[in-house]
Each structure stands twice: as C-alpha cells, then as structure tokens.
Structure 1
C-alpha cells in the first residue's frame, strides 16, 4: 500500500518525514520521489544497510538511516537534533525481504534455523520452544497466534523436544502439522510461527511505543500512516487512534461522563476506518491481501501520557 501511504503523508518540499520500518527502502524511496523532502529511515535489522546506501546515493543529502527500534524514534531523532517531524510511516511486522531469507527463520515454507529475530540480539524462537513450559507455550500460541489448537500444539512441542532440541523451521512445521488440520491455502504452522515471531521481537510492545513516540514527534498538521497485517496489530492502532481522536473506548455507558478523564484530541482521522489494498495490488502481491492502513493528522494538543497505551495491552 505504498501509494496510499504516500497519499496519506502528502510529502511537501522542505518537510522531514520518518520511515520507521525502513526494510528494503520502498516507502523511503517513494516519499523522496514525491517531493523535495528529507526522510529519516529507522531499522533494527543490520542487513538493511545496503538498501540504505542505495537510497542515500540516489537522493544525496536527503536520506539518513538510523540503526535502532522505531519505538525509540523520539530519542533517536533527538540525538541528531530533530525534535519535530512532518510525517511518520510505519509498516508493521516482518518484511518480505526477511521472509525470503531462509536463514532468518521466519518462513515455514523454507527450512532454516529457528531464529526469527529482526535484529541480531536477544532470544530466538528456538530458545522459546525449547525452554518455556507447556502452559506458557500454549498461552503464547493462543494469544499471539490466535491458534485454537494452541494447547495441542504446545503439548506436541514439549513431547518432541524430549527426543531432540527443536532447532529448525522444518522441524517445527512438521510438529505443528501433526495436530493442526490443514486448510486450503493456509499452512498449519502459520499461526504458531506468527505467535513466536511476535514474542521474539516484542512486536506489539514495539508498536505501542512507536505510536506514542510518533505522537510526541509529530508537529501540528503532521501525518501518521500505519499499515498492519493482522488483527492484533490493527486492534492496537485502532485503539490508539480512537482514543487520541477523542472517542471513548472501553468506558461504561453507565458511568457519569465526569469519571472519564477529558483530554484534548491529539489526532484527527484522515479517513474513517481502515483502507484495504486494491484488488490489483492484492493480486500482484498476495502478501498484501490482509493489509490495513489507518492514518491521522496531528492536532496542536499536547501528547497524551505514555501510560494511556497500557489500556491497549
């Protein structure tokens, strides 16, 4: 949904925009082509440097990559003397580039080490499946993969690792396939892989921190565009924007309005609900079929307290 993201951010000459999930540089390149703006890319994956070099060479003086997490974008930009920006783009989740690299361990269609880290630090998916107890594994797979057979999958993992450590993606796929029925077009391991990837990379926590950081960074009239790919992500984005746009979420209609803390809206929605990819894009790029874009414009109101996002947990 690159075209829709660029349209939402409406780059203008002289503006500073943030591509918080740089990846292979698709959004950054499109934003730079749309106007004589500057783009700051952020990515925790050290393998993206070659893509950053290419974008920088094609746009001298207008692009810079910062190594780190987009959840820390306010601190990362403050360190280079930028306190406010005109737009922030976020494309949540694993990138096609990472999925296509078998040695990263994201893909259930290729055999590789069971890693799934977006950076080169922290515990791997193999660490989780080989050390967490059955109950915790079941919770992870159910909560973050929305897998109805989570208990059976966890039980199968624990039984399999007694025989030998689970270190390869193919091993895990075969274990899950024993207890999850295949459905047309969906690999039985899809939801289990999603759950492990989310936990390994703290993706939902990172998303919440990124939304709060963007709220702090964006100038009045600045735009935020977020593309998500599954319901857990979209729920966090929707909750954040609903709250920041003044819609009371999670409050009881039986309580007096005075009991709900009144804050000036810090965002205005650019369009109602989420935009979906066009039929043409979904056909050309099947991975985009589940994408949802939500976008909003910053008001002049102060940023809300950070702890407000705990309600989205």
Structure 2
C-alpha cells in the first residue's frame, strides 16, 4: 500500500470575500497527504526553508505520513498569495515567492523507491522525470500539471506522459494539452499521449473520468458555505489515490468509488482554511457524506 507524493510545501496568504489568513500552511504535497492519510500511510518528498514550523504537521505524522523525504534548506519556505472573488471559482495570484523551492531537486529515499502508487504533483516536468528515474516498479503513476508547463515545457511533459497511467487536469488544461475544444474529444485524445485514463476536474461542477472508452461523471457535493477552495484539487487527488492504495484494485468500479471519495474529501477541505477541516475529520463523517452522494446521484 506504499503511496508516494512529490510536490510543494508552502505558506499561503489567502483572501476571500469574507476573511483573510496569512502564512497558512499549504502546498500540493501537504493537501494531498492530509487527504490520502485518511486511508493509508503516505511518504512525502518536498523541501522547506529554515523558517518552517514542523509542529504544524504533527497531526500528519500521527496519521502515518512519513517525512523522511522532507529536506530543509537554508532560506525561506515557498510562499504563495491569492485572492478569491465572490464567484469562488475565480481567483487571482497576488504573489509567488519560490524561495528554497526554486532549487528543489527531489531525492527519493531508498525506502521510498519501491512505492506502488506515485502522485507527481504540479511541479516542473523535468523534476517529475527525475522522480520517475528513482522509482523501481510503480503499480500506478498519477500526474498533475498546469497550463504553464503545457505551454512552456511541452516536450518534457510529453516524456512524463509516456510513463503516466492517469492524468488529472481541469477543463482548460485538457483542451490545451490535446488541442481539442470539445471536452469529450479532448478526453478521448489523452490515451494517445500515454495515460490510460484522464480525470477532468470541473470545480463546483464535479469531475469526469474517461477510462477504457467509458465515461463517468460525478457532481461536486453541494455546499452552502465554501470558505477556501485552495487545495481542493490536491485533496481530491489525495482522497482518490488513498482509496485506490487501500483497495489495491484498479478496475473501473473501484476507480468510480475512488472519485466519489476524492470528491467527498475535497468537499470537506473547502469548508475551512488550510487543513483545519481535514485535521479533525473522522471516517464516519466521510462515509455519511458518501451515502448522501449515492442518494443524490441514484435514479
């Protein structure tokens, strides 16, 4: 059940129409781990600065998250600032300070190298390739990327895609990477690039899976209050992969369940800033919401 994530660890400054937080713990590796560790132990590879407060991730350690691959460098931890609008699907980046993350060269500890499940979070495709060279024989590789890499490092990204089993993109990204305007055509074009399957994140409108000529759609769980959408995609990926790692099965019915669990955990994540909601959540709450999901989508 070994699950590895390689990604960013950050301090976020978030502004929403109703609140503001400064130096809130974030980053793809931590959001992913907070979600995936609800199902299975997680191994993390990332970098932080000498200003990083390790006490803030103690709850993850208690939950079985291994930080032997967390490297501390002299300098400041990666920082990102963003502002959300009244429509919480829209945001603007206020600042990005890579700091020690700019020099990040992922080194996979020896006892991580036999990981069966690997999540390559949204980082430079060159770094993703370096990670793959250090992993022995993974059962499943899931990739996240973004427009910046699709347009700026296309050739390197295509090399990563050749090793990828599942890619996770949003609407805009799947259209850009395939050159197809229609979402269905774009999804069908992905396997030609390497990944057997594609998951398209559609924000408050849910997610879509294309796998072996079959489509599966799941809505987002309807919430009255969205506090902070930051990390929703990574917590979705964490719930999805954590469920798969625990199930040890990759057939279509299991992938469908994994997407529902990923969507469910993402719905909890956005109910508060940072990982505050995921830190306290119990499996009983998750299963109750999954039941509501099933009731909501059955006909």
Alignment TM-score > 0.5, same fold:
no
Larger Rg: 1
Q: Which has the higher helix share?
A: 1
Give me the TM-score of the superposition, normalised by structure 2: 0.34
Q: Which has the higher strand share?
A: 2
Give me the TM-score of the superposition, normalised by structure 1: 0.33
